[in-house]
Amino acid sequence: MRITRRQAVSALAAPTLCSATRAFGQTALPEIEKGPFDGSLEGLKAYRIPEWFQDAKFGIWAHWGPQSAAEDGDWYARNMYIEGSPQYKSHLERFGHPSRVGHKDICRMWSADKFDPDHLVSLYKKAGAKYFMSMGVHHDGFDLWNSKFQPRWNAVATGPKKDIVGMWKQAAQRQGLKFAVSEHLAPGYNWFAVSHGSDKDGPLAGVPYDGVDPEYGDLYHELPPGYKISLTGMGGSMTDAPDS
């Protein structure tokens, strides 16, 4: 059975929305404030790059989040679930098997106790940066601010217990730098599907990773029946029957 891209997106979006509404205990997602764009091509064409950005030439962006607790790469949250990868092997040795200790636990380990945004941004300004951008959320679904969209898995509720994005913003403003936030969640569904897999070899072959635990569905996403996990790229595929 072949499906179109539109059908696949609809199938993938449905469980994610259901998971989110359950997390909020509501029948609908929180309303998002309207921005300057209406979603039309005409509206996008009307956009003009700000003059300050054309003159800025150089800015710095920080890709910093809970993966830093493991200190083993910015895709650690995904690669720790890919059997045989360097991050998987390291995770196994240092923390245990991902069926028991997974990304949820790495998030809790992240303390950011020595985080000094004022010092860092002062260095960025000294290097010539005219603007600074903080990551708001990576593919792993952990929001770096006091998020109402992800009330359990955010930097104020779990881990650092700090508004990381807010602290970056205040530091940038004190240094007179323009500030921005980046969003990386869009490919998170496929990217994180590997957390629902299991080892193919070894003593724990077939034991599901912690991503299948419904208690953490708001972090790992709940995959629909028939979703096939791919270890190459960030892909996944739908079939007409559930995995056996």
Q: Which CATH superfamily is domain 5-28+59-238 in?
A: Glycosidases (3.20.20.80)
In 3D, which of 174, 243, 236 has the Cα closest to residue 12? 236
Q: What is the C-alpha to C-alpha distance for residues 107 and 239, in angstroms, rounded to an integer?
A: 32
**36-80 tens-digit pLDDT:** 778 889 988 888 888 999 889 999 999 999 999 999 999 999 999
**24-33 tens-digit pLDDT:** 444 455 677 7
Find the range with the poorest average confidence among 81-90, 100-109, 183-192, 217-226: 217-226
Residue 8 has pLDDT above 70, yes or no: no
φ, ψ for residue 228 (rounded to 5)?
-95, 130
Query: SS3 letters for the chain?
Result: CCCCHHHHHHHHHHHHHHHHHHHHCCCCCCCCCCCCCCCCHHHHHCCCCCHHHHHHCCEEEECCCHHHHCCCCCCHHHHCCCCCCHHHHHHHHHCCCCCCCCHHHHHHHCCCCCCCHHHHHHHHHHCCCCEEEEEEECCCCCECCCCCCCCCCECCCCCCCCCHHHHHHHHHHHCCCEEEEEECCCCHHHHCHHHHCEECCCCCECCECHHHCHHHHHHHCCCCCCEEECCCCCCEEECCCCCC
Domain boundaries, given as residue ranges, for the chain: 5-28+59-238
* Proportion of the chain above pLDDT 90, given as a percent: 66
**111-150 tens-digit pLDDT:** 999 999 999 999 999 999 999 999 999 999 999 999 999 9
